Structure 1
């Protein structure tokens, strides 16, 4: 930088001096002194600029190893996101973030949360696995890392009582929370295995209309939907408040060959923006400490108290508590775990490909469980798809 700023200036002055050899000696001496002064000032400027660059570089390096001023966290107002609900409402996450400010945003479904994450509106989010996979694939591995699991189970296809089997679904209209979301992919993949063709524009043998969960309940009650593949508490709400019946409990589709745990499949995971994680590892560790504490509380707390506290947190996040029978049924269908069940992800990826919502790709590197394993004190496997 000093070469580009200082030397041209001194060259110009020297050229001006030597271009007029008949100038009086006093003037020559004065100019020479001025040149020396300018050269000294230039050197000082160069040194200062160099130090400034060094300091900037040092500050930048320091920033990469310092906590973030703020963590913007996303999650859904679903019982499958109870670790987030409890972690935020009972202060587990905030307590472990130290001086970092915690702000939160509640979403209806995964694709909207991913859009916010990619836009920088949030830094981390609880989410279903398929939107996370889709983001990783689209960004060629640059967008997100999965850093923990949160919940397994708690997703069902619920339908009108007169629908007895899969064969009765032809020509029917079903809903999912959002196109490309985890339940949307599960529904499309399952229907494909039943011989039905579905399209992302809503056409096909069975129409799928991605719909906000609260609206799905109303449409079903009004007879405008024949069913929906939903996470808890929405599956329970349709069953207990709208007379739906369970046609498929997703846990029955997982035989344990992928995860070694029959009936378990990832419904909710915790992901972080890769750039944020690289710049603020202490903040990610604090988030995970709070997350692990929240999951432990959910697993250690008696059912009645757990239902009360989760319901209170849900009211805080979504504005309304659930009837007791709904919260009880929802919690019975879910296992809370920090294990993301990484072995399930190749199947989840293939389901997304079959559903037409993602492309076939290599998802090696999607997991970074190193901090989780340090915080939790036990080994959780990335199943060869990243760091553990």
Structure 2
């Protein structure tokens, strides 16, 4: 039930519930489609389509820049070059979860918040990477809060308990020595159903900081209403590390490796295109309404900042980053495994493409 400020009323027990549920598309906002539909349509991908080797393949759509490679691969014909008739479909978190389990969705974008869900049994693996950090923590302009230590005893707004801004904030705070236990930690979190309401609460002093996805923190910083105290893309502990990974359905990886390889090749082409042509990519995304960002200049800046380029020896880099975040999440108590190296090895699958 939502209060007049849009705060989602959830008890402390919600952490244990949400951490076990796959919060897919953390990097974007989607509308709903039932899990029953996903089950009914399981196997719908790769339906015979004339002229396409792999037929029609469905991808969950997103309104964030994080999933730009999927949009660009469609618009620039990279999927078609690989024999894929790509179709973007609306899907909520549960639908994506079922879709990956059944193979209806071969891939989706996500981040390290998925790791606890995999530990709980979701049948998906990291099969690639997309870009660097896109999470920021903002405080009111002129606030005395400058460091992680300054947030002890304070309240941070997030989009959801267990989501990526929540996880990123806890990694940052935990690394600074703060207690991040979800029930008795040094910081209190308040979830908001709307980012604009979260910023409104920040300005009114109802929260002390706001952990959010770009572009809103950057927009507010440009307006002079906030100071940024943490940037996942530039913080020394996280800079140059992939935060948004590409997750693949284990079913497709095992049963249709050629199709998975073709999808990854198409997305690599799209990432390279974005890296080399950020202005044009931003224009396509804005004009075709693939993102909620309408400011092309800002979208171009963010695409450059996120660094979508495919890197030399990328497999090793991804493997290192997966290990890094597994270790970090274990350290702050968000993973139960006693064998972090083994779990990291389980999470990442190097799909030859």
TM-score when scaled to structure 2?
0.69
1:217 aligns with: 196
Shift of 1:135: 3.4
Secondary structure at 2:90 match in 1: strand
Question: Does residue 127 of structure 1 match 2:110?
Answer: yes
Structure 2: where are the runs of 5+ without partners?
1-46
Distance 1:299 1:325, change over 3 A: closer
* Cα drift, residue 254 of structure 1: 4.2
- Within the candidate set 168, 179, 189, 1:208 is matched to 189
Q: 8 Å contact 2:275–2:303 — kept in the other structure?
A: no
Counterparts of 2:131 and 2:104, CA distance in 1? 24
**Residues 147 and 367 of structure 1 are in contact (CA less than 8 Å); yes or no, is this contact kept in structure 2?**
yes
Matched, 1:367 2:348: yes
2:273: which partner in 1?
297
Indicate the residue corresponding to 2:219 in structure 1: 237
- The secondary structure found in structure 2 opposite 1:153 is coil
Higher helix share: 1
Q: Does 1:143 align with 2:123?
A: yes
Among 298, 301, 305, the alignment partner of 1:333 is 305
| Cα distance, 1:280 vs structure 2 | 1.9
Check if 1:171 corresponds to 2:171.
no
Matches within 5 A, 1:250-329: 250-254=232-236, 263-301=239-277, 303-313=278-288, 315-316=289-290, 318=291, 320-329=292-301
* 2:327 maps to which of 337, 350, 372: 350
Bigger CA radius of gyration: 1
Relative to structure 1, the CA distance from residue 357 to residue 83 in structure 2 (aligned partners, 3 Å threshold; closer, same or farther) is: same
Q: Which residue is 1:6 aligned to? A: none
Mapped to 2, the partners of 1:234 and 1:356 lie a distance apart of 29
Inter-partner Cα distance in structure 2 for 1:126 and 1:196? 30
Describe the shift of the 1:158–1:283 C-alpha distance in structure 2 as closer, same or farther (beyond 3 A).
same
TM-superposed CA distance for 1:69, in Å, is 5.2
- C-alpha distance in structure 1 between counterparts of 2:70 and 2:137, whole Å: 24
How many residues of Structure 1 are paired with residues of Structure 2 in the alignment?
A: 289
Q: For residues 333-373 of structure 1, what are the alpha-carbon distances to aligned partners after superposition, in whole Å with 9 as ceiling and x for unaligned? A: 2111343622122220122223433223422132222323x
- Structure 1 residue runs of 5 or longer lacking an equivalent are 1-62, 256-261, 373-388
Give how far 1:163 is off.
3.8
- Superposed CA RMSD: 3.2
Note the C-alpha offset of 1:264: 0.6
